[in-house]
Amino acid sequence: MVAPLKVGIAGLGTVGAEVVRLIETQARVLAGRSGRGIRVVAVTARSKSKKRGIDLRGVEWAKDPMALATHPEVDCFVELMGGAGDPALSAVDAALGAGKSVVTANKALLAKHGLKLAKAAEKHGGALNFEAAVGAAIPVIKTLREGLAGTGINRVYGILNGTCNYILTRMEQEGLSFTECLKDAQRLGYAEADPSFDVDGHDTAQKLAILASLAFGTKVAQSAVYVEGISSIAPEDLRAAADLGYRVKLLGVAVRTAKGIEQRVHPTMVPKSSSIAQVMGVTNAVTIDGEGIPPITLVGPGAGGAATASAVVADIADVARGIRANPFGRPIGQLRDTKKAPMERHEGGYYIRLLARDFPGTAAAIATRLAEQKISIESIVQRHPNGGAAPADGKAVPVPVILITYATHEDAVRRALAAVQKDKVISGRPQVIRIEKN
C-alpha cells in the first residue's frame, strides 16, 4: 500500500481552514482519485487559540512557518499566509530546498519571486503548484500549462479581479458613481478598507504576469505590465458603451505582437456579444485564443474561501499523484526575458469622450486634428444637454461628443487629443478607453 501524502499547512485563515476541512471530508474521494491517502499532519498560524470550526486533534502545531517547511514528516508544504516577502518567501524556498513539494495561492509571491522558486523546484525535484493564485476555482493555470501544451497561444485576457467587476457591474446597472459603488463594495466585504491594490489594477497585473509566462514562455515580470485602474470611469461612459454595443470591463490582456509580448491592464470596451461581456458581479473569466481552435473562455468564482480551497486541494492531489510539471510550463532556462511594451505602440480601436465647446468651428477643429494623425472615425455621437434647447442664461454649455475610432496607434490618439486641447475647443480632459475586439 502506498503511504499517504503528509501535508503541512502554513496559514489557517478562511482558505487554510477550508483546505483542512476539505481534506477531511473528501478523504475517500481524494484517495480514490490520487491513488493514495492525503493527511494533514502539521499546521502553523499566528493564533493557536482562534476558533476555526475544524478539528485539529492529532495534528501537530509547528512553532513557525520555517519549522513547518523543514519538518521531516511533511511531504507537501502548503503556503496560505500571503505576501511577497517573508515569512512566505523563506518558508517556501526552504521547503523546495529540502526536496518537498509546495502548493500556494500566493500571487504576489509568484509575481515577484516565481522564477527563483521555480528554479529551486526544478533543482530539488519537488512540485510548485499554484492554481489558486489566479482565478481561484477557474482551472486556467492547468489549462495553459498542460491542457494546451500543444497549442500556440496568441492572446490570453480576462476579468481577474472580482472587486472591479462588481463595481463596474453596479455602475452600469444602477447608474451609480465609482465612489458610491466602491463604498458599497467595502460595506459588503468585496473591497478592502484600502482598495487601491484592486481598483488601481495591481492585483490584476500580478495575475496577468503569471498567465503571460505560462502562455508565451516568458519570465514572470510584473514590471513588464502596463497598468491603469477604473477610478476614472464615469456612468456616462457606461451608458455610451451600452448604446454603442459595448460593455466596460477591467481586463488583463497579454497578446503576441510582431514587436513582442504586450501585457496591459486597463478599462476596456468589449462587444456585448462576447462571452467575457456577459460576466457580471464578482465573477472572474479568462479567454484564451489559441492557434487552430476557437477561443476558450473559463468562467467561475475568482475569490472566496471555498473556491480558493478547492483549487489548493486539487494541487495537493496532483502532488499525491506524482505529477511534477514545470511550474511555468517550460524549464527555467527556456523562459525568455520580457520588457514593458510602450503603450504608444499599441494598435486598436478607441472610445473617446470629449466635452466640446458649443462654438462654430469646434467640430471642424476636432476632425482636422484627428485627420492629421490619420485617425478614421467609425462612429460619432453628439449628446446635446436639455435635448438641444438653449440654456436659460444664454451661455454656451459644453456638448458631450463620443467618438469610436477604427484601429489606430495610441501615440496618434495622444497627439491628436493634445492638439485638440491646445486649440481650446474642449473643456476638461478627454476620456479614452481602449476597445478589445473578439
27-76 tens-digit pLDDT: 999 999 999 999 999 999 998 889 898 989 899 999 999 999 999 999 99
Judge whether 247 and 172 are in contact, CB under 8 Å: yes
Judge whether 174 and 236 are in contact, CB under 8 Å: no
Question: Closest Cα partner for 375 from 335, 398, 354, 348?
Answer: 348
DSSP 260-322: EEEEEEEEEEEETTSTGGG--TTEEEEEEEETTS--EEEEEE-SSHHHHHHHHHHHHHHHHHT
Judge whether 346 and 262 are in contact, CB under 8 Å: yes
Please list the active-site residues: 207
Judge whether 29 and 110 are in contact, CB under 8 Å: no
- The confidence score (pLDDT) of residue 207 equals 97
**pLDDT tens by residue, 138-187:** 999 999 999 999 999 999 999 999 999 999 999 999 999 999 999 988 88
**Which grid coordinates are listed for 388?**
438641444
**pLDDT tens by residue, 90-112:** 999 999 999 999 999 999 999 99
Q: CA torsion, points 146, 151, 155, 159, in degrees to nearest 10?
A: -30
- The confidence score (pLDDT) of residue 127 equals 97
- The confidence score (pLDDT) of residue 231 equals 95
| Separation CA 362–CA 382 (nearest Å) | 12
Q: Where in the chain is the domain with CATH 3.40.50.720?
A: 5-137+324-328
Judge whether 247 and 270 are in contact, CB under 8 Å: yes
Task: Please check whether the domain covering 140-301 is classified as CATH 3.20.20.70.
Answer: no
Task: Please check whether the domain covering 345-435 is classified as CATH 3.40.50.300.
Answer: no
Cβ neighbors of 181 (< 8 A, separation 6 or more) are: 166, 167, 170, 171
| pLDDT tens sequence for the chain (438 residues) | 689 999 999 999 999 999 999 999 999 999 999 999 999 999 999 988 898 989 898 999 999 999 999 999 999 999 999 999 999 999 999 999 999 999 999 999 999 999 999 999 999 999 999 999 999 889 999 999 999 999 999 999 999 999 999 999 999 999 999 999 999 888 888 888 889 999 999 999 999 999 999 999 999 999 999 999 999 999 999 999 999 999 999 999 999 988 889 999 999 999 999 999 999 999 999 999 999 999 999 999 888 889 999 999 999 999 999 999 999 999 999 999 988 888 888 889 999 999 998 778 888 899 999 999 999 999 888 766 555 544 545 466 788 999 999 999 999 999 999 999 999 999 989 999 999 986
Q: Write the Ramachandran bin of 103: left for phi over 0, alpha for psi from -120 to 50, otherwise beta.
A: beta
| Separation CA 284–CA 169 (nearest Å) | 12
Task: Please check whether the domain covering 5-137+324-328 is classified as CATH 3.30.465.10.
Answer: no
- The confidence score (pLDDT) of residue 384 equals 61
- The confidence score (pLDDT) of residue 209 equals 97
Write down the residue that cell numbers 487554510 correspond to: 16
Q: For the chain, what is the largest distance between any 2 Cα atoms, rounded to a whole number of angstroms?
A: 90
Q: Where in the chain is the domain with CATH 3.30.360.10?
A: 140-301
| Separation CA 261–CA 196 (nearest Å) | 26
